Amino acid sequence: MKGINLNGGDMDIRNLKAFIVLAETLNYHKASQILHISQPALTKRINALEEEFGALLFSRGPGGTRLTDFGQKTFENAQKLLGHFEQFQTQVNHDLQDDAPHYLYVSSCFSIYNSGKMKEQFFLGKQEKVVLVLMTGLTFEQQMSLLKSGLLHIAIVPLPFTSSLIPKKIFTEKLVYLFKKDSNWQHNSAELNTEMASLYQLISTDERDIPIDFTGGINIFSIYDNSNMNLILKTNDIMVMTELIIKHNGFSLIPQKVIRSIPSQYLNLLEVLETDMEIDFGILCSPVIDSGLINETELFSLLIDNI
Instruction: Compute the Cα dihedral for 238, 241, 247, 252 and give only its sign.
Output: negative
Contact 228, 248 (CB under 8 A): no
Number of Cβ within 10 Å of residue 207's Cβ equals 11
The CA angle 108-110-115, to the nearest 5 degrees, is 70
> CA–CA distance from 65 to each of 9, 157, 292 (Å)?
28, 70, 49
Number of Cβ within 10 Å of residue 301's Cβ equals 16
Highest CATH level, class, for 102-306: alpha beta
Task: Going residue by residue through the chain, which has 307 residues, state the pLDDT in tens, using 9 for 90 and above.
Answer: 444 433 334 567 889 899 999 999 999 999 999 999 999 999 999 999 998 888 999 998 888 899 999 999 899 888 888 887 777 777 666 666 655 667 788 887 655 544 555 555 555 445 556 777 777 667 777 788 888 888 888 888 777 666 677 777 777 888 888 999 887 776 777 777 777 766 655 444 444 343 333 333 455 788 888 888 888 888 777 888 899 999 988 898 888 878 877 888 888 899 898 888 887 888 888 888 776 677 777 777 666 655 5
Give the amino acid at 264: S
Helices 13-25, 39-53: crossing angle, 10 deg rounding: 110
- Bridge partners (DSSP) of residue 32 are none
**Residues near 111 by Cβ (< 8 Å), separated by ≥ 6?**
136, 238, 258, 261
Cis, bond preceding 255 (omega within 30 deg of 0): no
Domain spans of the chain? 13-98, 102-306
Highest CATH level, class, for 13-98: mainly alpha
**Residues near 155 by Cβ (< 8 Å), separated by ≥ 6?**
106, 107, 108, 138, 143, 144, 146, 147, 283, 284
Which residue, among 278, 296, 306, 290, has the nearest Cα to 121 in the 3D structure? Answer: 306
